[in-house]
Structure 1
Amino acid sequence: MQLACVTFHFQGKHVLSPEASFHPKDLKSGCCGRMESFPIRTVEVLCLGTSITLSGLFYYIYRKKQKTVDKLNEAPRLSLDRNLANILNATPGKCLQYVVIEGSVQPVKEPLRSQFQESCAGVIQKLVLREHRLVWNGLARTWTDSERFLHQRVNEVPFNLVGSDKAEVRVLCPMEASGLNLEVVHEKFHPASYSFTDIISQYLSGKKPKGQLETEEMVKVGAMLTGVGELFLDTDHALKLRPPTDGSEFFLTPLDFETMQMEQEGQALMWRVVASICVVTGVAVLLWVVRRYYRHLKAEKEREQERRDFERLCTTEGGDCDEDAEPDYNTCVICLSSPRNCVVLDCGHVCCCFRCFQALPEPVCPMCRQLIKRVVPLYQV
C-alpha cells in the first residue's frame, strides 16, 4: 500500500471561535445549527437586561419629573391679597387645581417653642437624635463612618400663608409637600466616652461609637414660603391650599418660584441623561453580541470552505477521503468514528479526521500540543 499526499495550507486562523462548544455530533450538523451553536454569555444577558430595566425605570422618573415641570410652567401665579377670594368665587367649583402663591408663615394659634433657643418660634418642629459610629469593613480592611436614628419626633401646628394686605391662606397637610426644607436652629454633638473594657469590646464587635448628634429643625414664624397646589374656597369662606386631587406634586418650599422651577428642570434633565446612558449601554451590548455572531458566521463559512477544498483535492487526486466510512482500525482520536485522513505539520502526526481538525478550539496538535502551521490530506491510492 502506497500513501500519497497533497499540500493543504492552514491559514493561521482560528477556524472555530474559542467560545463555541464542540461535540462529535456537531460535526454532522450543517448551517441550520449555527445559531444553536452560538453561545450568548451570561454577562451579556445580564448587562442587556439590566440596561433595559434601568432605562425603563429612569425614563419613567424622567417623564414624571417632566410632567411636573410642564405643570409648573402652566400654573398661574396669584398674588395673595383680598382679590383672591373674589377670583375663587367666580371660578366653577370655587377651586383652582394648580396655582402658585407666596406668603409669610403665621400660626393660627400658639406657635411651637424651640427646646434650645428661647427666642425661636415656629409652626413645624423636627427633633432628631442620631448616633454616629465607625464600623469595620472587612473587605476594605478599614473603619467606615455610619449613622443610625435613635429618636425622631415631628410637631406641627396649623398655620397660614399671609400676604401683603393680611390676606390668609390655610395650608393643609404640609408634611406631604415636596421641598419643605426646615431650618436648623440647634445642633450639638455629644462625643462618646470609652473605658478600657469598651475599647476591647468595640474591636471584637467591629463597631466603635463616635457620639450622638442632637439637632432641632423648624419652619420659623415669619418665614417666606412658596406654595404650589390646589387652592379652594371652603364653606366657611376661608382660603385653603392642599395637595392636588389629580395627583400632581404638591410643593411648599422656602425657595422663590423661579429657583424652584429651575431646580425641577435640572432634575428632569438629569434623569433624562441617566436614561439615555442606560439606553446607549444596552445598544452597545447588543451591537457587541451582533458583532460576535457575525464573526462566528464568518468563521463557520471559512471552515465550510476549507472542508470543500479538502474534499475537492481528494477527488482531484483520485484518493479515498470518505469520512463517512467506518473502518475497524485507525480511527480519529477525537470523534472515534471517522478515519484519520489528514497530517498535521510540522509535527507530522496522523491522528484525526479533517472535520475534527476544523473543530479544534486552537490550532494545536491533539497528540503533542505543538502549533499546527499547515495540514495535508492523507488518502490511499
Structure 2
Amino acid sequence: MSIHDQAAAAVLSQIATAADGALIGIALAYAAVRSILKYKANSSSLHKINDAPYLTVSDLRSLVNSESSDDGEVVIVRGTVEAKSAVEGNWKSLRPNNVLSSYNSAEKGVVLQRTQTCIYNEWRCFLGWTGDLYSIFPRYRKAQESSSLRKVPFVLVGNGRWPQPEYVNVNMDDSRHPIPLVTIYHHLQPVHPTPLTFLQALFGRQYPVGVLDEEKILPLGKDITAVGVCSSKDGIFEIKSCKDLPYFLSDMTKDEMLLDLAFKSKVLLWSGVVLGSVAVGVLGYAVVRNWNRWKQWRHRRQVQQQLDSANGDADSQVIADEEAEDVPDGQLCVICLTRRRRSAFIPCGHLVCCQRCALSVERDLAPKCPLCRQSIRSSVRIYDS
C-alpha cells in the first residue's frame, strides 16, 4: 500500500470512528433500511408472479376471452422469438431492415448490442495514484466504454400453424429491464504504444493498452419468457413490461423465477435484520458513551463552579491585598506578571503561578505546567508561615 493510500485509509478510519462510531451506525442503518425496502419490493413481485398465469402464446386467446379474466392483467408467456415482419404476411417482410444482422458474423436477430471497451494499464509510478482520482468521476468511467443498441419490432410465436401462427407483440418502449442477449463476437485488439504513452505513464495518467469489441444479439428462434401486462386490440395481443416486476424478458421459467425471487427475498430479509441489529448496537453504544461524557463534563463544571464560588469570597480579599503590595520580580506570576506566586502544581510541584492563573490553567482541556510542560492534576495554595 502506498503512502497516499495509507493516508487516505487513516483519514477514513478517523471519520468512521468519529463520535464513537455514530457515523458507522448511521451507514449501517441506511443499508438496513435499503435492504428492508428491497425485500418488500421483492416480496410483492414474488406474490404477483406466483398469482400470474403461466401460458403459451396459443392460450392467450382463451384467457382474454374468458369471463373471469380482464384485459390488461399480468401474465407470463413462453414463446419463440421471431421478427414481426415474418408473421405479418405482407410486403414488409421483404424489407432488409426488419431483421438485424451481425457485423462480424452471419447470425441474425431482433436486438443487436455492440460494445467497445478501452482497457487501461494498471501500472503505477511515483505519481500513479492520480489515476485513481480519474476513475472516481462517472464521466471518466463512461468515456472508457461506448455501447450502441439497435432493436426492431419482434413477437413471440407459439406452435400455431403457418402462415398465420398465434403470436404476441413485445412492446419494448420505456423498458429498462435486462434482455437475455447472446454473445456472438468477442475480440481483444491491442493498442500499440506511442511516444506520448511514456509521458502519460510518467505523470500517472492511465493509457489504453487494448480495445475489447463485443457483439450480443437476441437471436431468432430463441425460447424466452415474457412477464408483463398483456392487452388485446383488434384481436392482436401485446405484452408490455411492468415497472414493479424485476423481470420482463428472461430465459427462466416461472418456477425458476419464483425460486430466484424467494432466495433474494430471504437474503435481503436476513441482511436487513443483521445490519439493523448491528446498527442499533453501534448507535446505542455511541449514544451511551457521548451521554456519559456529557454528564461527566457537566458534573466537573458544576463542582468547579461551586469551588470557585466558595473560594472566591475567601480569596478575593487575599488577592486584592496581593495586588496592592509590592512584589519582587523573582516572586511574580509567570503568566500575569502582576501577582505573587501562591499555587504549586501537582505532581510536578512548581510554584510559578498565582492562585487565579493556576485555576485558569486547571480548567484547560489538557492542563500542563507552564514551566516544565508536564501534565498536572490540580494545584495547592501555599501559605507563608
In the comparison of the two structures, how many residue pairs are matched?
A: 333
* 8 Å CA contact retained: 2:340, 2:353: no
Cα distance change on mapping 1:358 and 1:184 into 2, 3 Å? same
Higher relative contact order (CA 8 A, sep 6+): 1
Q: 1:352 Cα shift?
A: 4.2
1:234-273 aligned within 5 A: 234=233, 236-244=234-242, 248-249=245-246, 251-268=248-265, 273=271
Please state whether the residue corresponding to 2:353 is helix, strand or coil.
Answer: coil
Q: Specify whether residues 370 and 202 from structure 1 end up closer, same or farther in structure 2 by C-alpha distance, changes over 3 A only.
A: closer
| Residue 151 of structure 1, CA deviation | 4.7
1:66 shift after superposition: 2.8
Kindly indicate whether residue 91 of structure 2 is the aligned counterpart of residue 121 of structure 1.
no
CA positional deviation for 1:191: 1.3
DSSP 3-state at the match of 2:55? coil
CA displacement, residues 309-331 of structure 1 (integer Å, 9 cap, x when unaligned):
7998x89xxx9434995452688
- Matched position secondary structure for 1:155: strand
How far, CA to CA, are the matches of 1:201 and 1:180 in structure 2? 42
Shift of 1:231: 0.9
CA gap 1:175/1:259 in 2 versus in 1, 3 angstroms = farther
Aligned to 2:76, the other structure's residue is in SS state strand
Residue in 1 that maps onto 2:315: 321
Return the offset for 1:184. Answer: 0.4
The aligned runs of 1:284-323 (5 Å cut-off) are 284-285=282-283, 287-302=285-300, 304-305=302-303, 320-322=314-316
Output one character per residue of 1:181-205: Cα deviation in whole Å (capped at 9) or x when no partner.
311001111112235x354454457
Check whether the contact 1:177–1:252 (CA below 8 A) recurs between aligned residues: no
When normalised by structure 2's length, the TM-score is 0.67
Match of 2:368 in 1: 364
Counterpart in 1 of 2:175?
176
Distance 1:61 1:95, change over 3 A: farther
TM-score by length of 1: 0.68
- Pair 1:64–1:363, CA change in 2 (3 A): closer
What amino acid does structure 2 have at the position aligned with 1:251? F
Unaligned regions of 5+ residues in structure 2, if any? 1-14, 86-97, 136-140
Report the aligned-residue RMSD: 4.5
Moved more, 77-86 or 185-194: 77-86
Which amino acid in structure 2 is aligned with residue 114 of structure 1? Answer: S
Q: Which residue of 1 aligns with 2:380?
A: 376
Q: Secondary structure at the match of 2:117?
A: strand
The equivalent of 1:19 in structure 2 is: none
Work out which of the residue numbers 99, 111, 126 in structure 1 matches 2:99.
Answer: 111
Distance 1:79 1:139, change over 3 A: same
Deviation per residue, 1:262-283 (Å, 9 max, x gap): 4445555566636963784476
* Percent of aligned positions that are identical: 19
Taking the aligned partners of 1:373 and 1:53, their CA distance within structure 2 comes to 39
Distance 1:261 1:47, change over 3 A: farther
- Paired position in structure 1 for 2:71: 95
Q: Report the equivalent of 1:342.
A: 343
Whether the 8 Å contact between 2:170 and 2:238 is mirrored in structure 1 is: yes
- Give the match's secondary structure for 2:73: strand
**C-alpha distance in structure 2 between counterparts of 1:225 and 1:78, whole Å:** 13
Is 1:112–1:124's contact at 8 Å kept on the other side of the alignment?
Answer: yes
2-structure distance, mates of 1:323, 1:70: 80
Aligned-partner residue type, residue 377 of structure 1: R
Which amino acid counterpart does residue 361 of structure 1 have in structure 2?
L
Q: Greater share of helix residues, 1 or 2?
A: 2
